[in-house]
Amino acid sequence: MKRILLSSAVVLALCASALQAQVTESTTRIERQHKKSRHMEQQLERTEQQLLEVLKTGTPVVQAQAVQTIRDLEQMFPEHTFAALLTPLEEKLKDENQDGVVRLLSALALDELHSDAGDAVIRDVASSSKDEGLQTLCKALLVRSDYR
C-alpha cells in the first residue's frame, strides 16, 4: 500500500511540475506578445504629432474627428500619457468661438486623460463658461472624476 501511495505521489508531483512549467511558459508568451515596444511608442508619438497639426489647422469637422481619435487612442492605450495634447485640447475647450462639438469632445478627451491638469481645466470651464450645455457636461465630469 505504501508503494502505491508513494508511486502515486511521485506521479502527481511530476504532473504538477509539468503543468506548472506549461502555465509559466504560456504566461511568458502572452506577456511578450502584449509588451510595450519601442516601435509602438514611436508610432503613438507620430500619431500624436499628426493630431496636433490637425487640431491647429483643420476645419471644425476634421478637428472633431481628430479629438474623437484622441479619445479612442486614450481608451486603447491608457498607459500612454498623451501629455502633448493637453494644451491644444485646453485651448479648444476654452475658446468660446470654437465649434460646440469640438469643445464637448475636448472636454471628454481631457477627462479621459485622468490628469490633474485636465481636471483643473475642466473645473475652470465648469465655473466660467457661457455655454450652459458645456458647463453642465464639465460639472458632470468633475463629479465622475471624484468617484474614481
Contacts by residues 98-103 (CB-CB < 8 Å, ≥ 24 positions apart): 98/60, 99/60, 99/63, 99/64, 100/131, 100/133, 100/134, 101/60, 101/64, 102/60, 102/63, 102/64, 102/67, 103/131, 103/134
Task: Give the model's pLDDT for residue 20.
Answer: 60
Task: Give the model's pLDDT for residue 12.
Answer: 55
Task: Give the model's pLDDT for residue 58.
Answer: 84
CA distance linking residue 49 with residue 81, whole number of Å? 13
Task: Give the model's pLDDT for residue 94.
Answer: 93
Cell numbers for 129:
463658461
Domain boundaries, the chain: 1-35, 38-146
Please answer whether residues 122 and 107 qualify as being in contact, where contact means their C-beta atoms are separated by less than 8 angstroms: yes
CA distance linking residue 96 with residue 103, whole number of Å? 9
Percentages (nearest 5) of helix, strand, coil residues in the chain: 85, 0, 15
Closest CA to 47 of 89, 82, 78, 6: 82
pTM of the predicted structure, to 2 decimals? 0.69
- Averaged in consecutive runs of 10 residues, what is the pLDDT profile of the chain (148 residues)? 56 55 54 67 90 89 91 86 90 92 93 88 93 93 75
CA distance linking residue 92 with residue 86, whole number of Å? 10
